[in-house]
Structure 1
Amino acid sequence: MFVDTSKEVRDPDVSAIAALDEPTRRRLYDLVVRQPAPVSRDEAAAALGLARQTAAFHLDRLADESLLDVVYERRSGRSGPGAGRPAKLYRRSAKQVAVTLPDRRYELAGRLLAQAVEESDATGEPVREVLHRKAEELGMQLGEQNQTDVYDLLERYGFEPRREGDAIVLANCPFHALAQAHTQTVCGMNLHLMRGVLDGVGEAGLEACLAPRPGQCCVRLQPAA
């Protein structure tokens, strides 16, 4: 019997991009990010010929999705009693939003590789050894910060885990393009990342090993010897 093991977890990046699918909201977003200074509700409404209430609704929705930041400023330039209430203004958020299907985590890989190169250059330790250590440390941090079942954690980070008897296979490689071009380096990094994850969540019943298969991640989590 088919069992759906997926969980209805709200992906904030997917939700943010979906919010921009509404035409008026997208026009407001484009307006705000093109301005050199924060924009008020009145300014946005006037620029696009919208009712102030409509502009406010969509601007607040964009802020709720972390696509815009909200700041408060007194436009009069005065302060103290009689200066009036600060205006609610909107500006581009510093948050970066990206969605890829299947899930990819190239930023994570890039950060690990950059750290390894820098530390190797500073200490003389072989870069591959540093990369493996950094990957294991990061995996442990992820496991400790997300005290949950390892299966759930792997789902959250895009590995698409599948149970195969007592083992867990990873149907998706979040570093796919890098692994295709630099297999030994990236698969070794991923192996140590998974070892750290298992340690971080306290999963002593599984061990990570290299077991590459076509169309899957190179790492497999199998019962510990």
Structure 2
Amino acid sequence: MFVDHAKEAQDPDVSAVAALDEPTRRRLYDHVVRQPSPVGRDEAAAALGLARQTAAFHLDRLADESLLDVVYERRSGRSGPGAGRPAKLYRRSAKQVSVSLPERRYELAGRLLAQAVEESGATGEPVGTVLQRKAQELGNHLGRQESAGVFAFLERYGFEPRCEGDAIVLANCPFHALAREHTETVCGMNLHLLRGVLEGLGDGGHEACLAPAPGRCCVRLEPVA
């Protein structure tokens, strides 16, 4: 089952970007990631002309944000009694940081498209048909995980919902650039994703409809008559 890690990482990514806004911290981060092996506090302080305490503080902050990993190694090459304590070292973490305004969900779209292409290749079913089914299945799964209702879900995933009478219009498309270049494919995927969300939520009061309009998502949630 697809798990959208972007949802889980949204706030930590913002915090990580904010951490790198501090000039000394950014210099230390850049220094560590350029090195072929993990870097110690003394080494980093000497390289950048910082006090050891200052380097340690900023390196630990970068580690707290998961931008750097901490490892412990004995630099002397000795082991056993008398070898001393392992040194605390830092290296670039595997974490990927991505923040966009307005919010975009291109990874979600990319994974759905990749799944559709792979299944289509294996079964011969048209890619578009598979994509819509996969999108609806994912939407259903995500909807069942949401406890606060459709409006909260739409806000969480960057659709920027707005009430317009009894309807809900979506001021932002999380797949904007893709939708501009591949409108039929991406808007169809989005429509079925949100239909699945409504199913998963058990929301019988709205239905997802295609209603393209300038400056909005192509999907609109209309009240069920």
Give me the TM-score of the superposition, normalised by structure 2: 0.89
The equivalent of 1:217 in structure 2 is 217
Displacement, 1:78?
3.4
What is the TM-score normalised by the length of structure 1? 0.89
Q: Distance in 2 between matches of 1:127 and 1:98?
A: 28
User: How far is the alpha carbon of 1:130 from its aligned partner?
Assistant: 0.7
For 2:26, give the aligned amino acid.
R
Superimposed CA distance per residue, residues 166-203 of structure 1 (whole angstroms, 9 cap, x where no aligned partner): 22111000111111111110000001111122223332
Match of 1:131 in 2: 131
Superposition map of 1:94-105 within 5 A? 94-105=94-105
Residue identity matched to 1:195:
R
> How far apart, CA to CA, are the structure 1 residues paired with 2:102 and 2:116?
27
Segments of structure 2 that go 5 or more residues without pairing to the other structure are 1-9
Deviation at 1:12, TM superposition (A): 2.0
Q: How many positions carry a matched residue from both structures?
A: 216
2: CA distance, partners of 1:109 / 1:147: 23
User: 2-side partners of 1:37 and 1:191: how far apart?
Assistant: 48
1:189: which partner in 2?
189
Counterpart of 1:34 in structure 2 is 34
The one-character-per-residue Cα deviations of 1:54-98 (angstroms, maximum 9, x if unpaired) are: 111111111122211222222233334333222222111111112
Q: 5+ residue gaps in structure 1?
A: 1-9
Distance 1:177 1:42, change over 3 A: same
Report what 1:3 is aligned to.
Answer: none
What does residue range 161-200 of structure 1 map to in structure 2 within 5 Å?
Answer: 161-200=161-200
* DSSP-derived class of the 1:208 partner: strand
Contact kept in structure 2, 1:148 and 1:201, CA below 8 Å: no
Which residue of structure 1 aligns with residue 107 of structure 2?
Answer: 107
Q: CA–CA distance in 1 between the matches of 2:71 and 2:206?
A: 48
CA RMSD of aligned residues (A): 1.6
The 2-side partners of 1:65 and 1:11 are apart by: 11
